[in-house]
Amino acid sequence: PRGLMPNPKTGTVTFEVESVIKNIKAGQVEFRADKLGNLHASVGKISFDADKLCENISVLVDTVKRMKPSSSKGIYLRNFSLSSTMGPGIKVDPQTV
């Protein structure tokens, strides 16, 4: 399967092992976009309470908006949905986050 081998581009191959481990333990989350512009990210686990999930989602949305390229015009985040790994998506209005 694609994407499972270590890759310097994704940060899985590095000489700074201590700093990578420290970042991962601190809660660093990676997100990626596919060819269609869909953003994939993990925002929590089943053991998280609703407040923690809401906080993680709002931080992710703020980060994506902050990373918007200056050349990008119009609405950058149109809509999104939340889902479990293999579950159906639940649509969320980006204005409410």
Indicate whether 1 pLDDT > 70: no
What DSSP string describes 20-81? Answer: HHHHHHHT---EEE-TTS-EEE----TTS-HHHHHHHHHHHHHHHHHT--TT--S-S---EE
Higher pLDDT, 59 or 7: 59
Domain layout of the chain by residue ranges: 8-96
Task: Encode 22-39: b = buried (16+ Cβ within 10 Å), e = exposed.
Answer: eeeeeeeeeeeeeeeeee
Q: Which CATH architecture has domain 8-96?
A: 2-Layer Sandwich (3.30)
State the pTM of this model. 0.70
Query: Mind listing the pLDDT tens digit for each residue in 21-53?
Result: 887 787 777 888 888 888 888 888 889 999 999
Indicate whether 11 pLDDT > 80: no
Q: Which of 28, 97, 93 is nearest to 61 (CA)?
A: 97
Inter-residue contact 47 to 59 (CB < 8 Å):
no
**pLDDT on residue 38:** 84
